Amino acid sequence: MGDEVANARPMRSASRLERVLRSGRFAVTAELNPPDSADPHAVYERALVLAGVCDGINSTDASGAHVHMSSVAMCALLTRVGYEPIMQVSCRDKNRIAIQGDLLGAAAMGVKNVLCLTGDGVEAGDQPEAKPVFDLDSISLLRTACVLRNEGRFLSGRPLDVPPKLFLGAASNPFVPPFDFRPLRLAKKIDAGADFIQTQFCFDVPRLREFMARVRDMELHEKVYILVGVGPLRSATAAEWMRTNVPGVHIPDKVVERLQRVGTEKQREEGKRLCVEIIQQVSEIAGVSGVHVMAYRQEELVAEIIEEAGLLPRRRRHKRVQAAV
């Protein structure tokens, strides 16, 4: 599948992630949750754990409508020490003027991967009185980034001196209805310019198989790289909370029941074991190019999961950042 997609589209950015995907290797990305801090070492310490086990590190953009260190600032820190960031850009907080400026600035700092998101509504966060923007959505954001990259101009028509070289991503959720619409939505994002896709958490592999069968029928897997979202569940209680409170997360009853059967003290380990099993099953599905591992502020656990799933070695770990940086 990697060769098919590589032949379908030109090299966009020469990012490490793009090279891995184009080579046909099974890619691994992970989410780095931003700190509630102005200390850069809070970013470096968390990224250090992920850098040796991932091909790209997602820098989230105020996910859940909660304030943290900004995505563009985190990416600046990560590129400074040679890590491979994937900058998430949400449409919730900025208009097209600010977003275009951020894309140029990020590219100038060495960011080569961008994930285009509509963003969670402000009512989901802890400051619901904030005023949302939503000048663009994920599809129009993809088109905007393509105008900058492919046509070398701003949306206004004004030309760029040097266009950004960006590997563009988008999100997909195969796990919530209407199921028939999900591949069609994916097709729209591909048409808008998506080079890679990261999905919502997968806890329902049979549903993913059905989605991927339709994706293959539509030959979408030949046009885009699909990385399936996975993550460990801390406990049955955490699973219940996630599927009740986190929009778009689907966790089948049998998953919760499996955690409940092992007893409270063993649920964290069982949640990790389940994640490893899902990665192994997902890696066998035709058209899947990799996984995206999400574990909120559990970077060490992410490294364990990737190793136990048999996805190492990847590349040499970076050295620890010294205090002088």
Do 122 and 149 form a contact (C-beta atoms < 8 A)? no
How high is the pLDDT of residue 127?
95
Q: Give the position of tokens 């649920």.
A: 267
Q: Tell whether the model's pLDDT for residue 65 goes beyond 50.
A: yes
Q: Give the position of tokens 């793009």.
A: 18
- For 286-316, how does the pLDDT look when each residue is reduced to its tens digit (9 = 90+)? 999 999 999 987 888 999 999 999 998 765 4
Whether the link from the prior residue into 34 is cis, omega within 30° of 0, is no
Classify residue 301 by burial, with Cβ atoms within 10 Å: 0-12, 13-18, 19+: buried
Residue 6 pLDDT grade (very low, low, confident, very high; cuts 50, 70, 90): low
Classify residue 240 by burial, with Cβ atoms within 10 Å: 0-12, 13-18, 19+: middle
How far apart (Å, rounded) are the C-alpha atoms in residues 99 and 144?
9
How far apart (Å, rounded) are the C-alpha atoms in residues 163 and 271?
44
How far apart (Å, rounded) are the C-alpha atoms in residues 316 and 226?
25
If one counts every other C-beta atom within 10 angstroms of the C-beta of residue 4, the result is 13
Contacts of 17 (CB under 8 A, 6+ apart): 27, 29, 55, 56, 84, 86, 112, 113, 167, 196
Q: Tell whether the model's pLDDT for residue 88 goes beyond 60.
A: yes
Joined tokens for residue 55: 């091909």
What residue spans define the domains of the chain?
Answer: 2-229+288-308
Cα separation values, 234 from 228, 256, 265, 283, Å: 20, 11, 10, 23
- Residue 57: which of 17, 6, 1, 23 has the closest Cα? 17
Domain 2-229+288-308 has CATH 3.20.20.220: yes
- For 253-287, how does the pLDDT look when each residue is reduced to its tens digit (9 = 90+)? 999 999 999 989 999 999 999 999 999 999 999 99
Q: pTM of the prediction?
A: 0.92
Cα separation values, 41 from 71, 83, 85, 174, Å: 15, 14, 16, 36
Helix/strand/coil for 301: helix
How far apart (Å, rounded) are the C-alpha atoms in residues 160 and 142?
18
Q: Tell whether the model's pLDDT for residue 24 goes beyond 70.
A: yes
